[in-house]
Amino acid sequence: MGALKLYLRYVSFSVRAQLQYRASFALQSIALFLLTFAEFLALVAIFHRFGSLKDWSLPEVALLYGIISVAFALAEAVPRGFDVFPRYLRSGDFDRILLRPRSAMFQVLGAEFQLMRIGRLSQALLVLAWAVWKLPIHWTPAKAVLLPAAILGGACLFSGLFILSAVVCFWTIESVEIVNCATYGGVESGQYPLSLYRPWFRSFFTFVVPLATINYFPAQVILGRSGGGLEGALMWASPLAGIAFLAFCGALWKVGVRHYGSTGS
Amino acid sequence: MLSSPSRGVNVPQIIVENIRKTFTVAERKSGLWGAVRGLVHRKHVEVHALSGISFSLEPGELVGYIGPNGAGKSTTVKILSGILVPDSGDCRVLGRSPWKERVAHVRDIGVVFGQRTQLWWDLPLAESFELLSHIYEVPAASFRSKREELVALLDLGPLLATPVRQLSLGQRMRADLAASLLHSPKILFLDEPTIGLDAVSKQAVRGFIRRLNAEEGVTVILTTHDMGDIEALCQRILLIGHGRILSDGSLAALRERVSLGRRLILDLEDADERVGDPDAVVVKREGGRVELAFDPSRIGAPALISRLTAAHRVRDLMVEDPPIEELIARLYAEEGLQ
């Protein structure tokens, strides 16, 4: 409980620090909103030209887009410290983190809370709301739980990716690009239905970086496209893969911190 | 207190036993392809930072830890503060292993790096202090009294509402000192605390450290290149070089070890007069001011002075020890450090 209270304090201090630069904050938030909105307009343009993608309609794709974008915006705002982690290693800030009586992961998590991501978040929520409003979904209580669960699973997954890129930094700073490919490439590709892609690509985003489990599969269930039996059950449970992925990356983080202790930066 | 026959009253607070640390530095190639290749094949260079360091400190000591750049000073401090794990050897600080019990350990120590701040850049000083008190779980009442005390001693009152990025270097250093002491640590590590400060700020920082050590009994380990810090503060000096402790003792003992002799400085009436004496060597000459080095075991200062004042018209004179910079430079040279 003490940790949660301290985390909220970190967040409030971080937000206050960012609000010292009010104009910059407002401009960045608006820019991010417009940028992501333009991205969505490109999607709309494709549908305007072709009518549908395979058997997916625009509102259906907007559901995929909304889930993954809300999840990504949350992950960008909350565990932002891992995203900028190379900076901490280079500047020696990580040493200072180790000098404080809290776990290193907790401190990096609390180090930065990016309020300006509210630009992406609000755009993503708008798209998601539009999709839900447009689609003739047969809502059940279970589906109403699955949607936020998918978003939560997605936020965990992206947080895991940010942690993973930070872990890589303990060994080499340059290779972060490889993880970034999965993160940013994942957001982009996850906005479209998985069935559009080649099999190896589908396998990668199902089994290696399980992005499909946090939007494609749950969306299938919500849209009533999933079958029954084992496959259907797995689709219901799929957001758990995001949480498992985060736990896995968290374990790797511990290995990384131990490695840092024996090598320094 | 439990007492065992093998332990005296003064149980060392810090025990360092034969600590070794080698870093493997990889040569890195640039670009993404270079990074990928680097994962497979890399050239490595071994750097021996510490090759067997041992010492122990009693509670309440104020120790200067000195040595040239790259001697292993900051590696030692990082091991003692729990950031780094040594390859071999052992270390106990307040009975704990710093890296095995990091969280418990860092509650009892304070660390100040002169080169970087531990405060939040964009937050007013008072808020940095507040956040630190929550991180260290300092009870609200003791935080308030400790903060008041530190603010008064370090004259921080007018700065509390200022964002840290707007503080001058001297102000920031005082603020960092206060921040490192909010949780009342028993041991304070100071890494070049006076670097870049003006004379007045240096005096303030030194005065504060002296008081902290004398009145509150906080053990202080100070790494510095500023010989003024050492002269003003340190009862004991650990000299490190090549990853080893080269000397351990008082400043006086260090002076005895390096026989630089003493200095006699004469101000002559006649700026061009030649000065010579069989028992003294002219080491410096600036117009009428002559600095002579002599060995007190060969000739006493009174004898030398009476001889020189008889031979020359002397306006003023003084006898002093050679500056500590020279002493350290000589020590480094003797040990082949520079």
Cα Dmax for chain A: 58
Chain B residues inside the 8 Å CB shell of A170: none
Q: Which of B 1-40 lie inside 8 A of A, CB atoms?
A: 23-24, 26, 28, 30-32, 34-36, 38-39
Q: Which helix (H) or strand (E) holds B202?
A: helix B199-216
Cβ-based neighbours of B231, under 8 Å, separated by 6 or more: B251, B324
Task: Give residues 79 to 98 of A whose Cβ lies within 8 Å of B.
Answer: 91-93, 95-96, 98
Tell me the domain boundaries of chain B: 57-255, 261-321
Contact indicator for B176, B204 with CB cutoff of 8 Å? no
**Least confident segment among A63-77, A151-165, B279-293:** B279-293
Q: Which residue has the tokens 């630069």?
A: A21
If phi > 0 it is left, if psi is from -120 to 50 it is alpha, else beta; for residue B184 that is: left
Q: Which residue has the higher pLDDT, A261 or B126?
A: B126
Choose the mutation target among B87, B135, B191 for the interface with A, i.e. most A CBs under 10 Å.
Answer: B135
Q: Let me know how long chain B is.
A: 338
Domain B57-255 is found in CATH 3.40.50.300:
yes
SS3 state of residue B312: coil
What phi and psi, each to the nearest 5 degrees, are found at residue B265?
A: -110, 125
Q: Give whole-number Cα distances, B37 to A168, A171, B30, B313, in Å.
A: 15, 14, 10, 76
User: How confident is the model at residue B6, as a pLDDT?
Assistant: 44
B56, B81, B246 from B91: Cα distances, Å: 9, 10, 19
HSE-CB of B48 using CA atoms within 13 angstroms:
11
Which pair of tokens denotes residue A229? 């039996």
- Whether residue A10 has pLDDT greater than 90: no
Contacts of A10 in chain B (CB under 8 A): 131
Q: Residue B334: how many CB atoms within 10 A of its CB?
A: 11
Residue in A13, A91, A172 nearest the CB of B123 = A13
Residue owning tokens 């890195």: B28
CA atoms of A81 and A102, how far apart (whole Å): 15
Q: According to the per-residue pLDDT averaged within each range, which of A43-57, A71-85, A143-157 is highest?
A: A143-157
Interchain pair B39, A92: CB under 8 A: no
Dist. CA A223–CA A221, nearest whole Å: 5
pLDDT number for residue B338: 58
Kindly list the averaged pLDDT for each block of 10 residues, start to end, along chain B of length 338.
47 92 75 68 79 94 88 90 93 94 94 86 91 94 95 93 92 94 95 88 92 94 88 90 87 75 87 83 87 86 89 88 75 72
In the stretch 193-252 of chain A, residues with CB closer than 8 A to chain B read none
